[in-house]
Each structure stands twice: as structure tokens, then as C-alpha cells.
Structure 1
Amino acid sequence: MATTPSDQLKYAAAILWQRAEWTTDAIAGSCCDDDHDIELDAITDAACEIRAMAEKLGDPRTYSDGRQVQTTREIEPGVYTVHVWHPDPSAEQPRSWRGSLRHDPDEQCPGVFEVTTTPETQEIHVRTVRLA
């Protein structure tokens, strides 16, 4: 499947935005963001500029063939996973990853989750297992 230049820019904008959010959240969560305000602002500003360019080419949430640019699924209340779909679904392989459910460091882990993507159908499957 051939992708259009607008689809490629929408993909790049969505990937940049997702990674900028993740990076700035991780830095802010590490309690060392006071020394990095300028750098965090620069990352966010770059993501906003690229996103604004993509918005000029139509709905930034959908590709030219009508597929979604990204999908969000809840793992547990307040915890989400976001996947940005490649503009050419044949270029993307299914992915799976696992992690621990949220818990305080001094508490036992309440369970695990597994996320699987299906590029052909743009589905994200989330499975959680709570430990007894």
C-alpha cells in the first residue's frame, strides 16, 4: 500500500507527540525537571510545530484511507497505552509487551498486564491478571 506524504507527516507528528509526552512525563516524574525546563519546553514546542503542520493536511486523527493514526486503550483505571499505527499497515508487525500493574514500591505487585497490537484491524488487546 502506498502512503501519501500527508499520511507520513501525520505519522511522524503522532510519533513525535507521543514520545515527547512520554519523555517529559518521565523527566518530570523523576523530580529533576526543575533543571530542565528549557529543554522540556523545546521538545514540546517542536512537537507542537510538527503537529500543527500535520493538522493543515486534514484531520490529524485519520489517514487518507480512513484508518486511525493512533488508538488508546485503558490498562487499568488511570493507566493507558497508546499505539501510533504505521501509515502502511503491511509495514507493521503485531507487537506484544507486558508490565506490572501500578503499586507503591513498598507493596506487593497486584498483577500484570499484556498488550498486543493487531495492525490489520487496528486493535489493541489488553489482558490483565490480578494476583491473589
Structure 2
Amino acid sequence: MNNPTNAQPTSNILDAAAANGTFKTFGKAVEKAGLSDTFRGPGPFTIFAPTDAAFEKLPQGKLENLFKPENKDELVSILNYHVVSGLKSSADVGKWESARTVHGQAAPVKLVDDKVVIDGAQVTAADIASSNGVIHGIDKVNMPAAPLSK
């Protein structure tokens, strides 16, 4: 989102994701996981949000299974693996070797052809501003190897 006036964005992470139009499934996942209030909260958050196309790459039935109430903990775990505390631009993230996620597991980060890649997912839309953080769109749903940290 270009913001030439440097005015503070007024939409929160979820509203900014919805306005973008390519994060509908991510928004639905956040809702199903019961994390909507958290992502509308003060933050700041850095979200590596899988695009709708990234969710389509999941094995058939995986997303529907994750959306079942009995799998809420797994869905929360996966979503938390896409969140880093604080406000981190793609330029910041590109300097890291790993990102400490809210999930508790570190996600490997590397720069490939000047593109940020986090745990194998390439950032396809960087630095989408919101009032409580920033969104980086990614082309893959990352799955944590470790169980929930709680």
C-alpha cells in the first residue's frame, strides 16, 4: 500500500488484509481460529499472510479439516507460525537468518534474488501497512514442525 503522505493507516491488520483482496482465506482462518480480536488489537504485528493462491496449494481437504472446531488448536498453531511480534519491514526481515514467530518456533529466512523467503515461502507482496502492524503476502502456507508452545 503506497502511503505518500506518511499518514498513519487507519485500518487494522485484518481490515487491511481484507481490503487487499488476496487474503480472503487468511481472514477466514483467523476468524475460525478465534484470533480476530487479537489481530485487531494494538500490536504491533508483522504477519506473513499466505495469499488465497497459497491456501489453494494445500492438499485437498486440508483446509476444510483445519476449519473444523476440533482442529482449532492446530489452526491457531499454524497461524501463529506466520506472526512475528513488532513492526518489521521486508528490508528488516531480509537481513535475518530466522524469524522468531509467536508460535515459538523460529522460521528460517533467506534472501533469494532480492526476494525475502521465509521457510520456503516467497514474499510476493511486501509492506502492506496497517494501524497495528504490517502484512507481507507469501506464496505458501508454512507448517510449523514443533507442537504448540503453550
Higher relative contact order (CA 8 A, sep 6+): 2
TM-score by length of 1: 0.23
TM-score by length of 2: 0.21
Structure with greater proportional helix content: 1
Higher Rg: 1
